Amino acid sequence: MRDFSRDTSALALNTATLGHILDGQGAGWSPEQVTDACAERGFGGIVFWQREIGGDAVRIGERVRAAGMQVAGLCRTPYLTGRDAGSDDEVTASIDMAAGLGAPVLTIVTGGTEPGTKGLADSRKRLAGRIARHADHAAACNVRLALEPLNPMFGGNRTCVFTVRDALEVCRALDLPHVGIAVDVYHVWWDRTLPEVLSGAAGKIFGYHLCDWLEDTGHMLLDRGMMGDGVADLKALRRMVEAAGYDGFCEVEVFSADNWWKRPPAEVLDVIVDRFRTAC
């Protein structure tokens, strides 16, 4: 397992950790401010959200690289299934934005179950079909698509893929080298099948997302813990992911409306570096 005690080159910030996914949250730092602050602290990468980028993808990507870091990824495609599914044009635009940034990975959060259906089979069939429809364009843009399973509590409205096993089944059905998975601690820490499932995931893990599960979490979306503050066994999880061959960025993604989003961003970034070195 990699030693992070003195090396933060594998550390990436997902800007959601500073509140940038919702209006009125966080300090409202610009991509340039975030880039400079991360570079000063030795981060290796940044993952942006579409809403921050607008038409400036190329410029922002170049700015990050000029600061000595990488754009590690982009969040995310529109939903591909469910009542809030985005259009094909919106999916294409998200791929193009990732390419403009120079982001090698675009995260997919599937969306919920298809209206008028029961169970999951129809929704997952729709999901696979929509990924396949955009796969050639993503490959041509050198963008890998990372399917992220979500905790089952998001079933129905945000996801139809709940476990790493579920996500890998979709990937294997598609059998495309640039379609894989993202493993997010918040969503999978509880799954005791992970050792077995991840052992067969070589070459399919495109992202690893760090946070923690608070023992007394107060909101299923916006009360994630900073690494080390919760009950997830972070080092065991990373050991499994790395044993499957993953050697990429560890992306800190903490949605925390009542705690971390209320703190000065510089303080949050300092804590992230300390926790990455000691708890992850």
**CATH code where residue 263 lies:** 3.20.20.150
Give the range of the structural domain holding residue 134, as residue numbers without chain letter. Answer: 11-279
Predicted pLDDT of residue 156: 87
Distance between CA atoms of 130 and 150, rounded to whole angstroms? 19
Does residue 1 lie within any of the structural domains? no
The reply to whether 3 falls in a domain is no
Overall number of domains in the chain: 1
Residue 6 resides in a domain: no
Supply the pLDDT for residue 280.
Answer: 97
Which segments of the chain have a pLDDT < 70? none
**Residue at 209 is within a domain:** yes
Which of 104, 23, 100, 19 shows the shortest CA–CA distance to 56? 100
3-10 long-range Cβ contacts below 8 angstroms, 24+ apart: 4/250, 4/276, 4/277, 4/280, 5/277, 5/278, 6/277, 8/41, 8/42, 8/43, 8/44, 8/273, 8/276, 8/277, 9/42, 9/44, 10/44, 10/248, 10/249, 10/250
Q: What is the pLDDT of residue 116?
A: 93
* Domain assignment present for 238: yes
Distance CA 8, CA 103 (A): 19
**158 inside domain:** yes
Indicate the length of the chain as a whole number. Answer: 280
Instruction: Classify residue 4: in a domain, yes or no.
Output: no
| Cα distance between residue 64 and residue 36, in whole Å | 8
pTM for the model: 0.97
CB of 225 closer than 8 Å to CB of 213: yes
Q: Is residue 80 part of a domain?
A: yes
